[in-house]
């Protein structure tokens, strides 16, 4: 099993600074509090964690600025930041340049938009959105695809038609684990993986699955599809901490991922757990 982990997907937030308006105070009570770098260190103390990529949680450019500052102060623990900016803004070029010039700016490795919350299934097809995605390529910035089944067809199209932009699919596109019918999702994964500029994160599965369905054995069909389509060369581990705490703790998420990948060779396991995140996000550890 791999001894070094680069976690490609985790979050930090301070509620007074950036309210997490997507939370349900009742069902999300376990994570309805601040999560800071010290909490991350404590959660990962028993794991061979080399570094992480912290990902935005609200569509607010100020959060990006704050995450870059926290990454700069984290003594190398946070190697990359996936922030948020308005892809449709006419000054996106300038905004990216400003961040790069700020403390921690070299850690800006990607942007993400909460596409899953957009009522328009074709949001990624919009000309102004695509203009922004092309801008990211010019700045060597990747784009995290946070989508659901309604947006996956547009994700397939945009990835194919913008080959210069690097995309990574968060949480494997949220497969329908609770219904158990993976037919349509599997076909969409195959289509998306057909574009070599798209990678995927083995993340978020424990919270998509229903309680009692979170074992490696029950998650294996989804992991097998991911390995069959993206292969160990374009798949990366992400904990989705602290959101994963709605289902289980950090150590258990790592253990489940290790079980899902146990049939891979040690070099391929190392790719999924560390090397692919370093390569895709162009991290400097």
What is the rounded CA–CA span in Å between residue 124 and residue 110?
16
What percentage of the chain exceeds 70 in pLDDT?
A: 99
- Taking all residues of the chain, what is their mean pLDDT, rounded to a whole number? 96
| Band of pLDDT at residue 44, cut at 50, 70 and 90 | very high
Helix-helix angle 127-138:152-161, to 10 degrees: 50
Burial of 178 (0-12, 13-18, 19+ CB in 10 A): exposed
SS3 189: helix
Q: What is the 8-class DSSP label of residue 13?
A: B
Burial of 183 (0-12, 13-18, 19+ CB in 10 A): exposed
CATH fold of 5-281, please? Answer: TIM Barrel (3.20.20)
C-beta neighbour count of 103 within 10 angstroms: 12
Q: Residue 253 to residues 56, 85, 219, 259: CA-CA distances in angstroms?
A: 20, 30, 12, 10
Q: What is the pLDDT of residues 53-101, one digit of tens each?
A: 999 999 999 999 999 999 999 999 999 999 999 999 999 999 999 999 9
Q: What is the pLDDT of residue 1?
A: 55
C-beta neighbour count of 83 within 10 angstroms: 27
Is 53 in contact with 8 (CB distance < 8 Å)?
yes
Is 269 in contact with 233 (CB distance < 8 Å)?
no
Helices marked H in 74-182: 92-101, 127-138, 152-161
What is the rounded CA–CA span in Å between residue 124 and residue 167?
12
Q: What is the pLDDT of residue 180?
A: 84
What is the rounded CA–CA span in Å between residue 152 and residue 171?
12
Q: How many helices (H) and strands (E) does the chain have?
A: 11, 8
Q: What is the 8-class DSSP label of residue 103?
A: T
Strand partners for 167: 143, 198
Model pTM score:
0.96
Token output for 16: 């007074």
């Amino acid at each position: 099993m791999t001894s070094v982990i680069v976690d490609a997907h985790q979050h930090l937030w301070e509620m007074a600074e950036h309210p997490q308006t997507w939370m349900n105070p009742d069902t999300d009570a376990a994570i309805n509090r601040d999560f800071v770098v010290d909490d991350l260190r404590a959660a990962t103390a028993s794991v061979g964690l080399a570094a992480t990529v912290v990902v935005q949680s609200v569509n607010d450019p100020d959060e990006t600025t704050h995450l870059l500052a926290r990454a700069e102060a984290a003594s190398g623990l946070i190697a990359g930041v996936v922030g948020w900016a308005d892809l449709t803004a006419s000054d996106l070029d300038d905004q990216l340049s400003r961040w790069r010039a700020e403390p921690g700016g070299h850690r800006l490795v990607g942007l993400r938009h909460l596409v899953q919350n957009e009522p328009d299934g074709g949001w990624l097809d919009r000309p102004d959105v695509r203009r922004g995605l092309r801008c990211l390529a010019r700045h060597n910035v990747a784009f995290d695809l946070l989508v659901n089944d309604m947006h996956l067809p547009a994700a397939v199209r945009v990835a194919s038609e913008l080959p210069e932009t690097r995309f990574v699919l968060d949480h494997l596109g949220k497969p329908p684990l609770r219904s158990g019918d993976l037919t349509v999702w599997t076909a969409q994964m195959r289509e998306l993986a057909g574009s070599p500029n798209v990678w995927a994160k083995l993340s978020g599965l424990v919270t998509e699955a229903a309680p009692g369905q979170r074992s490696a054995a029950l998650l294996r069909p989804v992991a097998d599809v991911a390995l069959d389509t993206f292969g160990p060369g374009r798949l990366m581990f992400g904990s989705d901490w602290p959101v994963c705490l709605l289902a289980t703790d950090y150590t258990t998420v790592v253990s489940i991922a290790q079980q899902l990948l146990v049939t891979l060779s040690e070099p391929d396991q190392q790719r999924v757990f560390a090397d692919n995140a370093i390569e895709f996000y162009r991290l400097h550890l």
